[in-house]
Amino acid sequence: MRHRTIIEPFRIKSVEPIRLSTEPERVAALAAAHYNPFLLDSEQVIIDLLTDSGTSAMSVEQWAGVMRGDEAYAGSRSWTRMERAVRDLTGMAHVLPTHQGRAAERIIYGHLGGRGKVFLANTHFDTTRANIEFSGATAIDLPIAEGRRPDALHPFKGNLDVPALEVLLRQHGTAVGAVILTVTNNSGGGQPVSLENAAAVSAACRRHGIPFLLDCCRIAENSWFIKHREPGMQDLTYREIAQRMFALADGAVMSAKKDGLANMGGFLALRDEALAQACTNLLIITEGFTTYGGLSGRDLEAIAIGLEEVFDPHYLEYRVRSTTFLGEHLHALGIPLMRPIGGHAVYVDAKALYPHIPVTEYPGQSLVCELYTLGGIRSVEIGSVMFGTYDSAGALVPAAMELVRLAIPRRVYTQSHIEYVAETFEAVAARASEVRGYRIVREPRFLRHFSAHFAPC
């Protein structure tokens, strides 16, 4: 007998209470947080879809691993276990542990970057772009055309535009520091990248002698899409698909807070010994000794176990299908979405939901505030607040899209939580035409979305 319901393939052994709030309480809390949900306390949030990063529920095996964690400064048993897990998965000899993904980015892009250098990617994630630009280099996004259109259906919308890549590789030559594929493409809608595209990018990099790196935070979720959408891949395991993709790359940066199913951690994996040596020097200065990076032994243990568990077919099926479940509900309500639905999040097209709000008044921020006010749901703007810049006259240069991301933490929320989110969207849709925009009243220089203050227009 076939069931329609995809159940959570786990039982709940430990519970974390959610504090329920009233709408007047939330209106006051949002004003006190300067209309930026990053500045809310988690206690003030009912369903936290701010990020899927570091918010996973760990398994019994991972918690048992926490107890087994070897906290030796050098040569910890837990490090041996994590190093083996990363080497087996990536096929890369040199593994540098870091406290999270951006620390690995700082090390590799600090080394390969600098003034005059150019980095090319399907889409640079915000911390990737910030680390590249902080080094003095330039980051250029080259998604395929469908990747920039929220409602354009394409099985691998995260793909990089290879003809455009060829042009820029010829134009910039050795000034190209690296070509990066973010799998899945977080900022571009959580969309997958095909093995075919990765192979074409890899071949172009080989021809030009440029390093090809994977930002592999969600490599397991990406493998799910490849198995189910890419011709000829259905007989491979998810892990084998990931290994094929790693085999094409010279290095990989990972935030283990995503598909590592851990609450903290990351790594940099490299094939080239000389490059690994240079990066190791930076690692020791900024993160810690080579056998722990910025991590405790218990974190190393949790990551080693998480990297195995994440490829479990029942887990991945539940994971991707439950994200799609939310997307399908919202689509049925007529909420404009980035489609098809990606692996870790549903992205709402706020520009289409609020056509009366100009991009200079950040329609995505309006939606983020509405979701919190009406349902206590925390989400994040991925549009001109996150990626907008100013021209020399001080006018906003908007982002390509005004999206709001509803990121689903792994193994945390049940189907009824997700149905509650869908119901909140009914209320959001009912008063969409009355909603106003926001202006920024205070902002820092880098990664402004984290701490900017807003006021209603």
Ligand X SMILES: *Cc1c(COP(=O)(O)O)cnc(C)c1O
Task: Classify each residue of 363-394 as buried b or exposed e, where b means 16 or more C-beta atoms within 10 Å of its C-beta.
Answer: bbbbbbbbbbbbbbbbbbbbbbbbbbeeeeee
Among 26, 36, 44, 53, the residue binding ligand X under the rule CB under 6 A is 53
* Nearer to ligand X (CB atom), residue 266 or residue 363: 266
* Nearer to ligand X (CB atom), residue 44 or residue 255: 255
In the complex, least distance from residue 193 CB atom to ligand X, rounded to whole angstroms: 11
Among 179, 217, 249, 295, the residue binding ligand X under the rule CB under 6 A is 217
Asked if 55 touches ligand X (CB under 6 A), the answer is no
| Overall size of the chain counted in residues | 457
Among 190, 260, 266, 336, the residue binding ligand X under the rule CB under 6 A is 266
Contact window for ligand X (CB under 6 A) among 124-132, 231-239, 407-415, 440-448: 124-132
Contact window for ligand X (CB under 6 A) among 96-104, 142-150, 224-232, 359-367: 96-104
Which H or E run includes 454?
strand 453-456
Classify residue 412 as exposed, middle or buried by CB count within 10 Å of its CB (0-12, 13-18, 19+).
middle
Contact window for ligand X (CB under 6 A) among 11-19, 107-115, 252-260, 279-287: 252-260
Cβ atoms 272, 254 nearer than 8 A: no
Number of neighbouring beta carbons within 10 Å of residue 91:
15
Asked if 127 touches ligand X (CB under 6 A), the answer is yes
* Nearer to ligand X (CB atom), residue 46 or residue 249: 249
Among 65, 69, 101, 343, the residue binding ligand X under the rule CB under 6 A is 101
Residue indicated by tokens 């099926």: 317
Alpha helices, H only, 16-159:
23-32, 60-68, 77-90, 101-112, 126-134
In the complex, least distance from residue 215 CB atom to ligand X, rounded to whole angstroms: 5
Asked if 323 touches ligand X (CB under 6 A), the answer is no
Cβ atoms 122, 185 nearer than 8 A: yes
Q: Nearest CA to 303 among 166, 99, 41? A: 99
Among 76, 100, 379, 424, the residue binding ligand X under the rule CB under 6 A is 100
**Binding string to ligand X for residues 146 to 185, with x set by CB under 6 A, is what?**
------------------------------------x---
- If phi > 0 it is left, if psi is from -120 to 50 it is alpha, else beta; for residue 258 that is alpha
Alpha helices, H only, 379-432:
384-387, 415-430
Joined tokens for residue 122: 């399907």
Among 257, 329, 339, 410, the residue binding ligand X under the rule CB under 6 A is 257
Among 215, 259, 287, 299, the residue binding ligand X under the rule CB under 6 A is 215
CA–CA separation, 188 and 184 (whole Å): 9
* Nearer to ligand X (CB atom), residue 76 or residue 191: 191
Contact window for ligand X (CB under 6 A) among 12-20, 122-130, 329-337, 397-405: 122-130
Contact window for ligand X (CB under 6 A) among 7-15, 97-105, 166-174, 192-200: 97-105
Cβ atoms 295, 287 nearer than 8 A: no
Residue 340: is the preceding peptide bond cis (ω within 30°)?
yes
Alpha helices, H only, 91-161:
101-112, 126-134
How many residues sit close enough to ligand X to count as binding (CB under 6 A)? 15
Asked if 131 touches ligand X (CB under 6 A), the answer is no
Asked if 410 touches ligand X (CB under 6 A), the answer is no
Give the interface with ligand X as residue ranges (CB under 6 A): 53, 100-102, 125, 127-128, 182, 186, 215, 217, 255, 257-258, 266
